[in-house]
């Protein structure tokens, strides 16, 4: 059942900040979780407490525009501190250095910190120019998504893989297809926040699709509108709940038991951005048959 979302949603200033930052918060949660795993493996559950505390201080401190700009502008310093402390932690515990799980956690932290650096720069740019449209290099845009999938795969600890060729898909692999095109061969002009929305929606599609499923996403600029669509073979949304899943913090009743890093904000953010730029949004879904989300933003 396809529904065009046209309802009004009520957001407090705090809700709006949370929507803009929730994917950044999720990254912080992943880093702090990996740090705590390393602490448990070392037998000293406070060995990296200063790094864990830093993660929560950043997350809790990003509660206003000024504090967000301050913390986002200092991410490089904070990331370097965490990496230096990790090096000290492992150097003082040589027995952990060759442990495959420790190496995996360390590699995961490094890759997620790289993503954190990129996101921090995007946040600063968005807050300083919230309504701006700018050029995005298509190859760089694609690589950003591949980096995110790589980090998600590492964080799965071997539970699943992402493959980009259907012939390579195994029973626990996700098949991912991404296609970004515009009127120009190498770049597309769009609001920077749209990239964040796209990542959230693609991540949601994966989250609510079991391994062995498919996630397809496309971005297209026809010179008049920017169109984005993402489709999955996941759990879907009960038909009578489709319009309500854009409300703040609301998820479908069929996924309430699913443990996630987020809290049901991806669709709210997407709809909020669509309204900000005078666009339209459709959700086409049926329970146990997957979901397709379509966004259209008219060019100014």
Give per-10-residue mean pLDDT for the chain (300 aa). Answer: 93 87 88 94 94 92 84 93 96 91 92 92 88 95 94 89 98 98 94 95 94 98 97 94 89 65 77 97 95 97
Q: Answer yes or no: pTM beyond 0.85.
A: yes
Which residue matches tokens 């795993």? 37
Question: Are residues 236 and 287 in contact, defined by beta-carbon separation less than 8 angstroms?
Answer: yes
pLDDT computed for residue 42 by the predictor: 93
Domain membership of residue 81 as a residue range:
2-298
pLDDT computed for residue 157 by the predictor: 85
pLDDT computed for residue 254 by the predictor: 72
Neighbours of 239 (CB within 10 A): 12
Tell me phi and psi for residue 281, to 5 degrees. -140, 135
pLDDT computed for residue 264 by the predictor: 63
pLDDT computed for residue 155 by the predictor: 86
Q: What DSSP designation does 167 have?
A: G
Q: How many domains does the chain have?
A: 1
CATH number of the domain where residue 186 is located = 3.30.565.10
Give the length of the chain: 300
Question: If we measure between CA atoms, which residue out of 262, 277, 256, 137 comes closest to residue 200?
Answer: 262
At a CB cut-off of 8 Å and minimum separation 6, what does 1 contact?
Answer: 239, 242, 284, 285, 286
pLDDT computed for residue 83 by the predictor: 97
């Amino acid at each position: 059942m396809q529904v065009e979302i046209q309802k009004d949603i009520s957001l407090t200033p705090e809700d709006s900040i949370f929507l803009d930052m929730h994917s950044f918060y999720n990254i912080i949660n992943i880093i702090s979780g990996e740090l705590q795993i390393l602490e448990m493996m070392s037998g000293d559950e406070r060995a990296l407490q200063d790094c864990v505390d830093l993660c929560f201080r950043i997350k809790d401190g990003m509660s206003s525009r000024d504090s967000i700009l301050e913390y986002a502008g200092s991410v490089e310093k904070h990331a370097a501190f965490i990496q230096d402390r990790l090096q000290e932690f492992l150097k003082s515990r040589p027995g952990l250095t060759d442990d495959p799980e420790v190496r995996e956690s360390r590699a995961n932290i490094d890759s997620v910190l790289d993503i954190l650096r990129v996101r921090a720069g995007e946040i600063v740019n968005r807050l300083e120019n919230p309504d701006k449209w700018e050029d995005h290099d298509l190859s760089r845009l694609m690589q950003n998504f591949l980096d995110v999938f790589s980090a998600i795969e590492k964080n799965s600890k071997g539970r699943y893989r992402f493959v980009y060729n259907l012939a390579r898909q195994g029973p626990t692999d996700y098949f991912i297809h991404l296609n970004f095109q515009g009127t120009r061969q190498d770049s597309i002009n769009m609001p920077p926040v749209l990239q964040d929305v796209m990542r959230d929606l693609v991540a949601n599609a994966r989250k609510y699709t079991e391994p062995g499923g498919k996630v397809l996403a496309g971005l297209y600029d026809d010179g008049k509108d920017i169109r984005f669509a993402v489709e999955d073979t996941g759990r879907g949304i009960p038909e009578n709940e489709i319009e309500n899943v854009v409300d703040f913090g609301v998820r479908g009743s069929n996924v309430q038991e699913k443990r996630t890093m987020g809290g049901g904000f991806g669709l709210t953010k997407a709809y909020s951005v669509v309204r900000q730029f005078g666009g339209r949004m459709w959700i086409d879904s049926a329970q146990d048959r997957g979901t397709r989300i379509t966004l259209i933003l008219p060019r100014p």
